[in-house]
A and B are shown apart, each in its own frame.
Chain A
Amino acid sequence: MPRAVVPRPRETTARKLSVFLSKHARVRLALLLSAPLFWLGLVYIAALAALLVTALWTVDSFTGKISQTWTLDNIVTVLSGSLYQAVTLRTVGVALLVTLIDVLVALPIAFYMAKVASPRAQRLLVIAVLMPLWASYLVKAYAWRSVLSQGGIFEWLVKPFGGESPGYGLPATIITLSYLWLPYVILPIYAGLERVPNSLLEASSDLGAKTGRTLRSIMLPMLWPAIIAGSIFSFSLSLGDYITVNIVGGANQLLGNLVFTNVGAANNLPLAAAIALIPIAIMIVYLTAARRTGALDNL
Chain B
Amino acid sequence: MHLYTARRRPAILAGLAIASVALLTACGTTSTPSGSGGAPDKLGTMEGSVSILAWPGYVEDGSNDPTVDWVTAFEDQTGCKVTSKSYGTSDEAFTLMKTGDYDVVAASGDASLRLVAAGDVAPVNTDLLKNYAGIFDFLKMQSWNSVDGVSYGIPHGYGANLLMYNTDTFTTPPTSWDVVFDKGSAYAGKVTAYDSPIYIADAAVYLMAHSPELGIKNPYALDTTQLAAAVDLLKGQRANVGEYWSDYLKEIQAFETGDSVVGTTWQVIQNSVTTGNTDVVLPEEGTTGWSDTWMISSQAKSPNCAYAWLDYIASPEANAQATAYFGEAPSSQAACDFRDDCESYHAGDEAYASQIWYWSTPIAKCLDGRTDVECTDYSAWTTAWQEIKG
Contacts and interface: CB of A to CB of B under 8 A. Distances in A.
B118 A65 contact: yes
B117 A266 contact: no
Contacts of B94: 64, 267
Interface centre among A45, A152, A249 (most CB of B within 10 A): A45
Contact of A63 (B13, B25, B118): B118
Interface in B324-376: 363-364
Contacts of B364: 62
B258 interface: yes
B257 A152 contact: yes
Contacts of B258: 150-151
A49 B244 contact: no
A45 B9 CA distance: 13
B243 A49 contact: no
A265 B382 contact: yes
A41 B16 contact: yes
B21 A49 contact: yes
Contacts of A53: 21, 24-25
A286 B44 CA distance: 64
Interface in A36-64: 37, 41-42, 45-46, 48-50, 53, 59, 61-64
Nearest to A41: B16
Instruction: Tell which of B94, B117, B379 has the most Cβ of chain A within 10 Å.
Output: B379
B29 interface: yes
Given A45-B13, A83-B387, A63 B117 contact: yes
Interface in A246-270: 247, 249-253, 258, 261-262, 264-268
A203 to B, nearest CB: 32
Contacts of A251: 238, 241-244, 389
Nearest to B261: A150
Interface residues of B, number: 49
Nearest to B22: A49
Contacts of B257: 146, 149-152
B386 A258 contact: yes
Contacts of B29: 66, 68
A36 B163 CA distance: 57
Given A41-B16, A68-B28, A251-B238, A62 B250 contact: no
A133 interface: no
A151 B15 CA distance: 59
Contacts, number: 114
Interface in B278-314: none
A65 B31 contact: yes
A61 B379 contact: yes
A62 B189 contact: no
A92 to B, nearest CB: 16
Contacts of B156: none
Contacts of B28: 68
Contacts of A258: 386
Contacts of B390: 83, 86-87, 253
Contacts of A151: 257-258
A168 interface: yes
A62 B377 contact: yes
Number of contact residues on A: which range applies? 35 or more
Contacts of B377: 61-62
A167 interface: yes
B95 A49 contact: no
Given A62-B117, A150-B259, A49 B24 contact: yes
A249 B259 CA distance: 13
B197 interface: yes
A247 B176 CA distance: 29
Contacts of A48: 17
A84 to B, nearest CB: 9
A49 B20 contact: yes
Contact of B196 (A49, A61, A265): A265
B12 interface: yes
A49 B253 contact: no
Given A168-B259, A265-B196, A41 B386 contact: no
B12 A37 contact: yes
Contacts of B55: none
A145 to B, nearest CB: 7
A59 B382 CA distance: 13
Contacts of B272: none
A53 B118 CA distance: 24
A53 B20 CA distance: 11
A46 B15 CA distance: 11
Nearest to A266: B382
26 contacts: A37-B12, A37-B16, A41-B13, A45-B17, A46-B20, A49-B17, A49-B24, A50-B20, A50-B24, A61-B379, A61-B380, A62-B114, A63-B118, A64-B95, A66-B29, A68-B28, A146-B253, A167-B259, A168-B243, A253-B386, A253-B389, A253-B390, A265-B91, A265-B197, A265-B382, A266-B378
Given A150-B258, A249-B243, 6 more contacts: A53-B21, A61-B378, A62-B114, A83-B387, A265-B385, A267-B95
The 6 closest A-B pairs by CB, nearest first: A61-B379, A266-B382, A41-B16, A46-B20, A149-B257, A63-B118
Interface of A: 37, 41-42, 45-46, 48-50, 53, 59, 61-66, 68, 83, 86-87, 145-146, 149-152, 167-168, 247, 249-253, 258, 261-262, 264-268
